[in-house]
Amino acid sequence: MTSLQTLSVGWNVSVLEPMADPMVPIPERARIMVGLSGGADSTGLAVWAVRTYPNHDWHMVHVRHGLRDDEADRRAAQETAQLLNRPFLEVQAKWDDIERANGPEDRARQARYAAFVAAGEQLNTPYLALAHTADDQAETVILRLVRGTGPSGMAGMQPVSARVGLTIIRPLLHWPRAAVRNLSQGFPTVEDPTNTDLDQRRAYVRHQLLPVLGYARPDKQSAVPAISRLAALQAQQRMLIDHLIAPYVGPSWGSIQRISDESAPIVQKELIYRALGHDVSRELADGIARLQRGERIDIKGGRWAARDRFGWLIGPKKIAWSINKVDPPVHFPDHVHRDFDPLKTHPLPWKVPIYRDVNIRDVRVRYRLPVDSVHKGIFEYFEKSLRKQLPVVYTAAGNVVAIGPVSTLPIGRLGANVQWIAITQSHQL
């Protein structure tokens, strides 16, 4: 085992001792995937992981994108796994699982993560270790900066983050790239040609912008450590903001997010921005904050934003639902008080009454239609901005039996034979 020299300001690293970032807890009794591309960075991570935690259950996972001849990458990754005496799994990128992408780099990233999710399901683990370094962090911050990001985007990547189906750990996020690559010496590696293709945004930042930024420093040294520290400080600020705004986060209504108006305007704007996602502009968030009660607008990605008497709602234009029987029966209120936020008082799953003699297969869910005007008194309990999102439960004969997150029909009208069902989010209908 070699020893680590103190890193100079210029990050000239010659010898290394694997060390763990105290901000990244490494699961001890869990299987952990290592994203192994065959490049020097991921190979360095694999070597660090096995040498530092030899008793951990590391699995080397290689994703093939199919965009070029990557057989050499696969061979290098597989040989590294063999040299480290660790299991090796090869998976294909999941291009069909991409919803929206900001360019080809983002599209490839999403396809890669979808492949890791599939690998995690096969290996029965959500944990994925990636070889992102401080240099990657600096590149990410710059790319987000020129795209117009806000404070949260400036926090860059986090040592531990959650993605659907994955818990991502980046134990070497504080390391310079050169230090990580030094660990790969003696192992087969392949350089991805896109890393030097200046038509790729990240490669351009890496080879053109970052060196120039270094010249702008008084000591003419690399700007990477300073940018990396900036990201860490922004992450701490974000955690502080999370703590301060937590009391004002409204209840969610499935995939619809609620932002309460019982807070300062600056808090409302931050919550709206987060509900929209960080790929949108602050101008859009400010425009939604200026909506008047009863107003509604469409936003990109098949979503809408509206404001009612309780605050703001942001969610998809269409929501799919499935119906399942619930046992035992549950007593449910027969009306909604006009001063109660239906999203707050009745979160998912919704419970609605249905006749026991109605076959569950004969029950349907749709959204409000003009023919539902006979139920005007029921719809009046909800703001106009909500009504088009209210699911209507009806039978094959067309009889409406429940509307919205609560049934406002008096229980007595349905009789004693009441079977309860739950409407829960699903993409099956």
Supply the pLDDT for residue 361.
72
Characterise 165 by phi-psi region: left (phi > 0), alpha (psi -120 to 50), beta (else): left
Per-residue model confidence as pLDDT tens digits over 88-125 = 999 998 888 776 667 778 888 889 999 999 999 999 99
Per-residue model confidence as pLDDT tens digits over 264-312 = 888 888 888 888 875 667 788 889 999 998 788 888 777 888 888 778 8
212 and 76 inside one domain: yes
Instruction: Tell me whether residue 10 is in a domain.
Output: no
Cα separation, 56 vs 35, in Å, equals 15
Instruction: Tell me whether residue 18 is in a domain.
Output: no
What is the dihedral angle through the alpha carbons of 255, 261, 263, 266, rounded to the nearest 10 degrees? 80
For residue 201, give the CATH number of its domain.
Answer: 3.40.50.620
297 and 328 inside one domain: no
pTM of the model: 0.69
182 and 295 inside one domain: no
Compute φ and ψ for 64, nearest 5 degrees: -105, 120
Domain boundary among 299, 316, 333: 316
Which positions of the chain have pLDDT values less than 70?
Answer: 1-23, 99-101, 250-255, 278-280, 318-358, 367-390, 401, 403-429
H, E, C per residue of the chain? CCCCCCCCCCCCCCCCCCCCCCCCCCCCCCEEEEECCCCHHHHHHHHHHHHHCCCCEEEEEEEECCCCCCHHHHHHHHHHHHHCCCCEEEEECCHHHCCCCCCHHHHHHHHHHHHHHHHHHHHCCCEEECCCCHHHHHHHHHHHHHHCCCHHHHCCCCCEEEECCEEEECCCCCCCHHHHHHCCCCCCCCCCHHHHCCCCHHHHHHHHHHHHHHHCCCCCCCCHHHHHHHHHHHHHHHHHHHHHHHHHECCCECCEEEEECCCCHHHHHHHHHHHHCCCCCHHHHHHHHCCCCCCEEEECCCEEEEEECCEEEEEECCCCEEEEECCCCCCCCCCCCCCCCHHHHCCCCEEEEEECCCCHHHCEEEECCHHHHHHHHHHCCCCHHHHCCCEEEECCCCCEEEECCCCCCCHHHHCCCEEEEEEEECCCC
Instruction: Tell me whether residue 23 is in a domain.
Output: no
Instruction: Tell me the CB-side half-sphere exposure of residue 203, using CA atoms within 13 A.
Output: 11
Domain boundary among 236, 270, 301: 236
Can you read off the two tokens belonging to residue 253? Answer: 């209504």
Supply the pLDDT for residue 165.
86
Supply the pLDDT for residue 415.
43
309 and 328 inside one domain: no
308 and 331 inside one domain: no
- The number of folded domains in the chain is 3
Cα separation, 175 vs 101, in Å, equals 29
73 and 189 inside one domain: yes
83 and 192 inside one domain: yes
Helix axis angle, 40-52 to 71-83, nearest 10°: 10
- B/e letters for 225-251, b = 16+ CB within 10 Å, e = fewer, are bebbebbbebbeebeeeeeebeebbbb
Domain boundary among 289, 316, 343: 316
Q: How many CB atoms lie within 10 A of CB 59?
A: 22
Instruction: Tell me whether residue 24 is in a domain.
Output: no
49 and 148 inside one domain: yes
102 and 216 inside one domain: yes
Residue 112: which of 125, 93, 95, 99 has the closest Cα?
93
Supply the pLDDT for residue 384.
65
Supply the pLDDT for residue 372.
67
Instruction: Tell me whether residue 25 is in a domain.
Output: no
Peptide bond into 349 cis (omega under 30): yes
133 and 223 inside one domain: yes
CB of 365 within 8 A of CB of 400?
no
172 and 304 inside one domain: no
- Please give the residue range of the domain that contains residue 275: 249-316
Cα separation, 160 vs 404, in Å, equals 38
36 and 170 inside one domain: yes
CB of 177 within 8 A of CB of 42?
no
